[in-house]
Amino acid sequence: MSDKPEPTVRLSVFKTYKLYVGGKFPRSESGRVYEVTDSKDRPLANAPQGSRKDARDAVVAARKAFGGWSGATAYNRGQVLYRVAEMLEGRADQFTREVAEAEGLSRAKAAAQVSAAVDRWVWYAGWTDKIAQVAGGANPVAGPFFNLSSPEPTGVVAVLAPQRSSLLGLVSVLAPVLATGCTAVVVASEDRPLPALTLGEVLATSDVPGGAVNILSGRTAELAAPLAAHQDVNAIDLTGAPAELAVELERAAADNLKRVLRPADAEGDGEDFTADPGIRRLTPFLETKTVWHPTGSLGVSGSAY
């Protein structure tokens, strides 16, 4: 005589959100976390609250990765970015849920954001080997020279991700940085960091070299200040900075002549990320190298070359 066994209740496994630095998923060096809530103030998860030392470590990782990523062929970079789109597509359901929770959108609207984010990766994947022709080229000069300008990646770019658009906005500011061959330290949206932290998992499985993208969550002002003043950061994208902070950061960035991309408007991120991105975000992080190559006759022998 045996009783029917009680149906076992399975406890679901909760995810610990972590930073993405140097291809690894560490907790914040400070050990701090902060509560992330949905649009109706219901708690979603604890996110790591990064410190300035996390920012420093991320810059070191990004600098280390810069040689490999910028040295990869533009074609190869395009393939890798396309691979990110593939991986993102495969996890569309998870991102749809996270975006819906973070931004308070309906499922359908969140799904549209995720699809747009996937398409955004594809857009920039296509641009990797084309930007050089658009932003560079041959210059006519008054002398027997070929004169060529070629755009090259500037280096490590600190990216303050948009505060409101947690995935599409993030991809819209991150992808162009990667497309040009720069490496990035991203400060995720302060109140909506979860899609960004999950994007780290997508990047880690997409052949993006460890360190090429580093994602930090925490207080934007606390993380942005050391990044703006950091002497080994070459550029800063202030998209996610509130107006007052943006001014302060731009001042700090002037110290080592960082390239600065200002927020699109005074509001910080009123930017419509669903619009056609163009190449507005590709060109700010390029350095133009111009080479002079002698041409024409090299002697009096009459040789044509």
| Chain residues in the site for other proteins (CB under 8 A) | 56, 59, 63, 226, 229-233, 252, 255
CB neighbourhood size of 94 (10 A): 16
Helix (H) or strand (E) holding 160: strand 156-160
Token digits of residue 72: 């990869």
Shortest approach of other proteins to residue 232 CB, angstroms? Answer: 2
Nearer to other proteins, 152 or 207 (CB): 152
**Minimum distance from residue 81 beta carbon to other proteins (Å):** 27
Select 32 or 63, whichever has its Cβ closest to other proteins: 63
Q: What is the closest distance, in whole angstroms, from the C-beta atom of residue 277 to other proteins in the complex?
A: 30
Q: Nearer Cβ to other proteins, position 188 or 233?
A: 233
Contact 73, 50 (CB under 8 A): no
Q: What share of the chain is helix, strand, coil (3-state, %, to 5)?
A: 40, 20, 40
Separation of CA 255 from chain center: 23
Between 9 and 257, name the residue whose CB sits nearer to other proteins: 257
Question: CB burial class (10 A; 0-12, 13-18, 19+) of residue 236?
Answer: buried
Residue 233 or 246 with smaller CB distance to other proteins: 233
Task: Work out how close the CB of 224 gets to other proteins at its nearest, in angstroms, rounded to a whole number.
Answer: 13
Angle at 105 between CA 99 and CA 110, to 5 degrees: 50
Q: How far is the CB of 26 from other proteins (least distance, A)?
A: 17
From the CB of 230, what's the least distance to other proteins, in Å?
A: 4
DSSP structure class, residue 267: T
**8 A C-beta contact, residue 139 and residue 150:** no
The strand ranges marked E within 255-305 are 259-261, 286-294
Of 181 and 226, which CB lies nearer to other proteins in the complex structure?
226
